[in-house]
A and B are shown apart, each in its own frame.
Chain A
């Protein structure tokens, strides 16, 4: 599934970039993230609770940062697997600034497999939107706290 969109964060670009590339912050941005630990260069192991309200399960996986070109671009690759299958997200973030505000354009792909794919397709669109909205809400909050 393709994911693409634009969000505006009320903070300057440098700051937003710093947040997006800081593993400690990423742990707080990813909805349901319970643990994030280094596991190699720009790679982290994660444990997270993924899903929708009552329908959530524990996943293990990795988060990888790449294509880092501060302060305008970076790429985040998340892989996760759990009892229902797997969910892998891969997306580039492009940041631009206007009047002290940062516009974050994201474009990526979500791949799900196993049970999540075969019985969740009806809810996938909405669920992805929820996760993305939560991610940016968290980012906004982090930016405000800076």
Chain B
């Protein structure tokens, strides 16, 4: 519980942070909310020589909408996402997901950017980001590039972030009319992370058919994934409980579920189907309510 020594920088601007990052290379780690990094440092599982604290940089924490596109700054805390009126109206999936992360203390410190960059295979946000078809904006001294969520998560604890890059923003389209979404999670009894976390968003056309369906699943495999088998089973179909149940059986199609002390691969697979069904059913109910 006692970290190794490190050098600490608190840059005041993004440029300064990028410069420090370029200068210190792979020996440096960015510090956001510290709620994943510091526990690892205390156990000395991570021993970065340099910490670059993003906490003093103004302008990395915001939630705004511009022409139907929502953008969120990387340093926005889980609590800010959870309580954002804008998001609750325009993309309620994200606040619903944020509310399921850890406890109040964790949500007050942890950030969207930190959670995504850390890429814990059981983190909650990734499921929602996938379901929202979000893009991650990565900034380096060379400029910015955008990576879609699907490509951002590379493997367990591994993302598309390259040396010298900072995740600065996440963007996605706000919900269109007749859209419903839901996040459903089976909590790990010890860590509170997701054994299975399913984020579903669907849009109904005028006839009640699913014109857009997306399902992001976390906790089940080494990296979060889109349950394309489920989506295919629902797209263009008249959505009802029965159809959703059938399609949800495809929740782990093509993935090899993880196994650990709390849940075997078999149980994870079964729960992925159950929680996919529950998330989709809730999303459908909400979409239908919009009339």
Establish whether A and B are touching in the complex (CB under 8 Å): yes
B222 within 8 A of A: yes
Q: B155 touching A130 by the CB < 8 A rule?
A: yes
| Residue B43 lies at the interface, judged by CB distance under 8 Å to chain A | yes
- Residues on A with beta carbons closer than 8 Å to the beta carbon of B259: 125
B260–A122 contact, CB under 8 A? yes
A126–B48 CA distance with the chains assembled, in angstroms: 23
Task: Write the residues of chain A forming the contact surface with B, with a CB cutoff of 8 angstroms.
Answer: 51-55, 57, 83-84, 115, 119, 121-127, 129-130
The secondary structure that dominates the A interface is: helix
B residues near A (Cβ < 8 Å) are 29, 37, 40, 43-48, 118-119, 121-122, 155-158, 191, 222, 256, 258-261
Q: Which residues of B contact A52 (CB under 8 A)?
A: 156-158
Q: SS class of chain B's interface: helix, strand, loop or mixed? A: loop
Residues of B within 8 A of A54 (CB): 29, 37, 40, 46, 48, 118, 157
Closest CB in chain A relative to B116 CB, distance in Å: 13
Nearest to B4 among chain A residues (CB) is: A83
Q: Is the CB of B40 within 8 A of A55?
A: yes
- What's the nearest-Cβ distance from chain A to residue B105, in Å? 20
B residues in contact with A83, CB < 8 Å = 44
For A126, the chain B residues whose CB sits under 8 A away are: 121, 155-156, 222, 258
> A53-B158, A123-B121 in contact; A130/B40 too (CB < 8 A)?
no
Question: A83-B44, A126-B222 in contact; A121/B157 too (CB < 8 A)?
Answer: no
Q: How far is the CB of A32 from chain B (nearest CB, A)?
A: 14
